[in-house]
Amino acid sequence: MSHKRIPKRKAAIAAGGVVALGAAAVLLPNANASQDGAAGDATPRTLRAADASGLSAQLATALGDSFAGSYYDSAERRLVVNVVGGDSGMVLRAKKAGASVRQVGNSTAALNSAARTLKAEASIPGTSWAVDPRTNKVVVTADSTVTGARWNRLRSTVRGLGSGMATLKKSAGTFKTFASGGDAIFARTQGGTVRCSLGFNVTAGDGSPAFLTAGHCGVAAEQWSDSQNGAPVATVDQATFPGSDLALVTYDDPGTQAPSAVDVGNGQSVEITGAAEATVGATVFRMGSTTGLHNGTVTGLDATVNFQSETGGVDTVTGLIQTNVCAEPGDSGGPLFTQDGGAVGLTSGGSGDCIRGGETFFQPVTTALQATGATLGAGDGGGAAGDAAGDAGDAGDQQPGAGQSDTDPSGAGDRQSGAGGHNSGPAYGSGRTRTP
């Protein structure tokens, strides 16, 4: 098979220029913030999810220890803020800022303490936990491999936290990095061919064109090609997994032009305008080479996931975004983004599939940019996403094209928007950080 060389001044493996593989999700019409509720009254403001994350950050600072998390009510388009204690002044302050306020029993400090207990006593492969501000509890999930003595240990730990502090649920699938299939970038290792995809194009700290992808891809191989048997066109600069799941890969040709966009199929793309913080309750979109475009909701922040390592131990990744967006092997490394062009996350792993559903976890883009020193696009590296250049709502009628089998290694000569995963083969140890 002949390889495809990235042309000078144009990145062929960019986040926007690839095959769309059968997705049912469509981008929704843009929802602009209204002017309801001026700062001086107590009426909750109507907000976009992107604006809600900024208001939440402001209130977290203003309320201090009284702040116990927040989430976005997408039906009412309002930010709901949890407040601990009966301080009416704190409640009024949050309401005047435009939030809908509810009083809860568990403080942020108490919830974080529960998470630390879980880490110390129940870091079991196949488990995860995250704070759910909608229930004001820590939600602990066990996959199908957690049985017998390990299940008893986990259940005992959760019960010890109290029913008002934590809940335990089972997942039908298995927590894993989505690690087979994908058709965007390739590498060769002693264990076989590794296949992943980029998430977002960025500019490295030294000004070089580069892209972000999953760390479990970056630690597997150093050099990457845009075709299965092609010559390397990009080299890993930094990669970390476990702990985090992020990698920065620089294009070998310094003249490569790497557009800041995600292709969503049928010639449609969403321009990436900046990094965006995730908000529980907000709608997000994921693009992947196996399952195409799908949307769902953020269900948790600062999630901890305990993946089973190749050596039989535990690969723990912390600080992840938890969602109910479906994903399958081959979607690893792909972009999680908002309708208005905010880069939110990089697909890490999860359980389930796009038939049964499940949990999927993402490395926050803001964390990846901070860790690598990279910036999105021409240099917007850290703030909330601004207005998209181009109307994302125009993609509302799109239906991405027919899917490609996950066993097809070639991609049929086409490209899929930032997605993918490594296939089975390479052995992955613990505590790997690659900085060539």
Catalytic residue numbers read: 216, 245, 332
Residue 205: phi, psi to the nearest 5? -60, -30
Please choose, from the candidates 274, 228, 226, 270, the residue with its C-alpha nearest in 3D space to the C-alpha of residue 251: 226
Please choose, from the candidates 58, 7, 54, the residue with its C-alpha nearest in 3D space to the C-alpha of residue 257: 7
